[in-house]
Amino acid sequence: MPQHNLPILDFAKFREGGTAKAEFIQELGDVTHNIGFFYLKNHGIEQSLLDQALELSKQFFALPIEKKLEIQMVKSPHFRGYTKLKDEITREKPDSREQLDYMPEYKAIPLNQIPKDQPWLRIQGPNQWPESLPDLKPTLLELQRQKVALAKVLLTAFAESLGQSPDAFAHTYSTNPSVLCKAIHYPGTEQTEQGVGAHKDGGYLTLLLQDEHSGLEVLKGDEWVPATPIKGTFIVNIGELLEIASQGYLKATQHRVITPPIGVDRYSLAFFLTSQLNATVPLLELPAHLQPNNFAITKDPKNPLFTEIGKNFLKGRLRSHPDVAATHYSDLPQLA
């Protein structure tokens, strides 16, 4: 096997139990304390489903632009649907990608029933799907369902790696966890552009399925290193909520995506587990052996972190999609 810049963790060890499970939990804690990114193999989701989801995503992006714009995100107050090239913003700059955003199909809450101090509940609602690709919806929602199940189990492992009971986070995702999924297309360009600008993810954890083309880069120390694709694996990274919960022991790591060269199209499927929008991040008291004096929650004036999960999630959505914010959220004060 060729050398890779990120560790490879084997989820079969966790499922085996006993000493193998304990080794996996130890590896998980060490990796996410020091790097925050890893490959996960033997995750249990069938390759046939992953291949089908990627193929249907390619078919969606191959549709005429008029068809894709029929489900443009600006038509949804729930931030669901198609975003065309350079319409999403990361770090105040446009990203050179097009994408389809979808979440669990929860029932929308009537606007007059949403408390004014919980505006993030407005995100809950239906997705938008293309009529011309009827297989896309059931395939992506089934993959989403299986990723939710996997992510919940991973969170029990994270809890144990932090010296907590396995269900330490369960109360924050037991009812309607907030899940964001993206089918993404990066068209090739003549010069390197910002596919996605450098950022940290805002949720608990991310699962990324890549096609065969590189593009994702991770800030490892002071160096940007490529996360080259390994078939059959997910790239997993933690988000800001796990950094907050661990009071800085686990680090959400900056990463970015570079556009492929002209003539190459890169596709990926991203999954972000954030938990319930009405929950609050639990601030864990770590055992003594996990309490060195050289860590703290990251302070970034351009990206303040809130312990309220819904506030954190809505903040990211409003910043990334200013057109949706202007159309459907103009009554809200800016989240600073």
Q: Which CATH number characterizes residue 240's domain?
A: 2.60.120.330
pLDDT at 293: 55
Amino acid at 313: F
Residue 220, in any domain of the structure = yes
For the chain, how many structural domains are there in total? 1
CA distance 319 to 59: 29
pLDDT at 336: 44
CA distance 80 to 102: 5
Tell me the pTM. Answer: 0.92
Residue 235, in any domain of the structure = yes
Residue 173, in any domain of the structure = yes
CA distance 191 to 13: 42
- Contacts from 298-301 at CB under 8 Å and sequence distance 24+? 298/200, 298/240, 298/243, 298/248, 298/251, 298/252
- Domain of 186? 8-328
Evaluate whether 239 touches 206 at the Cβ level (below 8 Å). Answer: yes
Please list the ranges in the chain whose pLDDT falls under 50: 1-2, 301-304, 336
Residue 244, in any domain of the structure = yes
Residue 334, in any domain of the structure = no
